[in-house]
Structure 1
Amino acid sequence: MDKPHAPSCERNREPILEVLRQYFADRRHVLEIGSGTGQHAVHFAAALTWLDWQCSDRTENLPGIRAWLDEAALPNTPPPLELDVDGPWPRGAFDAVFSANTLHIMAWHEVEALFAQLPAVVTDDARLAIYGPFNDGDRYTSDSNAAFDQWLKARDAHMGIRDAEAVDALAAAAGFALVDDVAMPANNRCRVWQRSRH
């Protein structure tokens, strides 16, 4: 099969990698939620060789992810897992979780499910990094984000750019506190949370 390709992955992978180099430097087992095409996984796993990078996505996306992983043949990318956030989650004790451009595609109840399920699959000191657009105080941070949000809602009413404070509240309920909010190109952010043992 022809590998799926997302041009945005080519554009944003280096800025994201710089954040992951810092915050995943002492991590070992990463669960990527919503791996999409698989492009990010191959790029990050090749650069962050100490990480075991576990892809996951809905069933329909797994063949494309496998195509990227098989071609790269990296030793630190196990076969992708089927994961619908509303369904059964994989067993594991991941010390890091990553997701890119997923929260605005999911319905809000799915975003809630994602965070609610995290404590069952992560370690007590896990770190979480999420890339994508966010609103601040229910306000758009740029005209381009406002236009993008309108495009999303026209595509499907359940989609939309999420409010940073609302996402932080879900993270806090799962035991994660925000430790960084890094500005990214094209009015995106990479937000990082740390789980505490306490």
Structure 2
Amino acid sequence: MHLRIVDIDGSPEEIAALPQLRELLGSPARAGAGAACAEVPPDPPPAGAPEVVLPTAVTAVLELRPPADDVRRRLSEFLATALRWPDVEARVGASRRSPDGRANAIRLHRRGSSVGAFVYIRLPTVNMQLRLPSDMPAHLVRHAARRRVNTDAPYGLTLRLTSPEVLAEALSLARLAYEVAGSPDRERDGLSTFGDEQPAPSG
């Protein structure tokens, strides 16, 4: 074994982007922005950034269908991060079957996208369904479960915010789904073109 000490001067973001560092840490060799997005944890909000205020409809449905305390904290962090991405909005639909008229899900949409929500969040379980194919590469899917659907089904991955590690993966996969939703041909970095839009299944 040979150890060489190297002095590197730069910001944490610049150092993290060094290809030599990625190779040293064993990141899978996969070109393309999609892989980089899913492998690198999302950047923390810049110092002094305004706090994200969740939409009234979202806070209301969280009060009506509250998750467990630790899960809710992770969900709040997930939503606050995702809502900082450009053109993201959180929506709560209506339901005739619900006594209060609200659906049991929070949907994240990218404004201007030709597809539907890139993430569905079922309440109160916080079961997330992501608009990514079920045959995503294994090194990108460590905690998410692959749904038993065709590989061209829109929502192929699901997970629950059971730990900080799962939260990190949820943000990485959600960012990738967000990027794909913004692609005009609904295809990015070698991912299969998704099927036609359909409501996220309940399972």
> What is the TM-score when the length of structure 1 is the normalising length?
0.28
Which has the greater radius of gyration?
Answer: 2
Structure having the larger proportion of residues in strand: 1
- Which TM-score applies when normalising by structure 2? 0.28
The structure whose residues are more often helix, as a share, is 1
